[in-house]
Amino acid sequence: MGMIDITGKETVLREAVASGRIRLAPETLARIKEYKIKKGDPRAVAEIAGINAAKETARLIPHCHQIPLSTVDVSFSLEKDFIEATCLVKAKATTGVEMEALVGVSIALAVIWDMVKYLEKDESGQYPSTRISDIRVIKKTKKPLSSYDPD
């Protein structure tokens, strides 16, 4: 069994948005807001990692096609006890980009965890309250290329 044959599918504008959350201690979130994390700003590093991850999706998920992505945008919202990450992906393609959005947001969240894990560990080295959750596709669209307006 190989990849699905998409040879006959029409090229259209594809867009997907995925989001997810990482639950962190209030003290950790305060340090992020104050740019006091030892490894640097987790949001900046996670943004680049999420972009890179989305571009590598076909190498990570065996049945995904290589898609030339038009854009990848990773953004963050800091809330009371979590950070919400959102990944937008667009491409002119014959197959959807929701997996790229999911991979982008997942890696962005994992990078945040990596950068703040020293603050999240308890006295026995465990993570009792740190959680990545709610990873989901929140929007998926496809439109004819004739409707594309870059402005």
pLDDT tens, position by position, 15-55: 999 999 999 999 999 999 999 999 999 999 999 999 999 99
* Residue 5 confidence (pLDDT): 84
pLDDT of residue 33: 96
Q: Can you give the pTM of this predicted structure?
A: 0.92
Q: What is the pLDDT of residue 44?
A: 98
How confident is the model at residue 146, as a pLDDT? 78
* Residue 140 bridge partners (DSSP): 16
Is-catalytic flag, 114? yes
Looking at residue 52, its pLDDT comes to 98
Amino acid present at 27: E
Within the chain, which residues score under 70 in pLDDT? Answer: 147-151
> In this predicted structure, what is the pLDDT of residue 149?
62
Query: What 3 state SS string does the chain have?
Result: CCCCCCCCCCCEEEEEEEEEEEECCHHHHHHHHCCCCCCCCHHHHHHHHHHHHHHCHHHHCCCCCCCCEEEEEEEEEECCCEEEEEEEEEEEECCCCHHHHHHHHHHHHHHHHHHHHHHHCCCCCCCCCCEEEEEEEEEEEEECHHHCCCC
pLDDT at 15: 97
Residue 10's pLDDT is 86
Question: If we measure between CA atoms, which residue out of 80, 84, 90 comes closest to residue 22?
Answer: 84
pLDDT of the residue at 8: 80
Q: Give the whole-angstrom CA distance, residue 146 versus residue 32.
A: 43
Identify the active-site residue in 81, 114, 122, 151: 114
Q: Domain map of the chain by residue range?
A: 12-143
pLDDT at site 151: 57
Whether CATH 3.30.70.270 fits 12-143: no
Distance, CA of 27 to CA of 25 (rounded, Å): 5
What pLDDT was estimated at residue 148? 59
